[in-house]
Amino acid sequence: NAGVTQTPKFQVLKTGQSMTLQCAQDMNHNSMYWYRQDPGMGLRLIYYSASEGTTDKGEVPNGYNVSRLNKREFSLRLESAAPSQTSVYFCASREVRPLNNEQFFGPGTRLTVL
C-alpha cells in the first residue's frame, strides 16, 4: 500500500516550458487535490477533483490545468511555466463520505522555474 505517490520528485524548467506533474493513489479515494507551498508559507489549493470525471478550481488556479485520468490518477499541467510557479507541489487524496475524513498527502514535487 504505497498511499499517494508523486513524480517527479524534482524538476527544473526554463520560463515558457511545459510539464505535467503526476499523482496516483491506491486507497480508492474519490477526492484528489493539488496544492502548492511557497517558502515559509502554508499550502494553497490549486485544483481539486471531488470524484472521477469532475474538476474544480481552488484558491490559485491561474496558470495550471488538471486532468482526472481515472479514479487513481490526477495530473497537474503547467502549459507555460513562469518563475512565479517555483514552489513545492503536493498532491493529496481523501474519502469524504460517510464521514468528514482526513487528507493523505504525497511527498511533493520541488519545481524550480528559471
Q: Which residues bind to another protein, rule: CB under 8 A? A: 4, 31, 33, 41-45, 48, 50, 56, 58-59, 90, 92, 96, 100, 102-108
* 3-state class (DSSP) for residue 48: strand
Query: Which grid coordinates belong to 72?
Result: 487513481
Nearest approach in angstroms of CB 108 to another protein is 6
Rank residues 14 and 102 by Cβ distance to another protein and give the closer one: 102
How far the first Cα of the chain sits from its last, in Å, is 36
Is the CB of residue 61 less than 8 Å from the CB of residue 35?
Answer: no
Rank residues 42 and 53 by Cβ distance to another protein and give the closer one: 42
Nearest approach in angstroms of CB 80 to another protein is 27
Nearest approach in angstroms of CB 16 to another protein is 28
Cα separation of 109 and 88, whole Å? 6
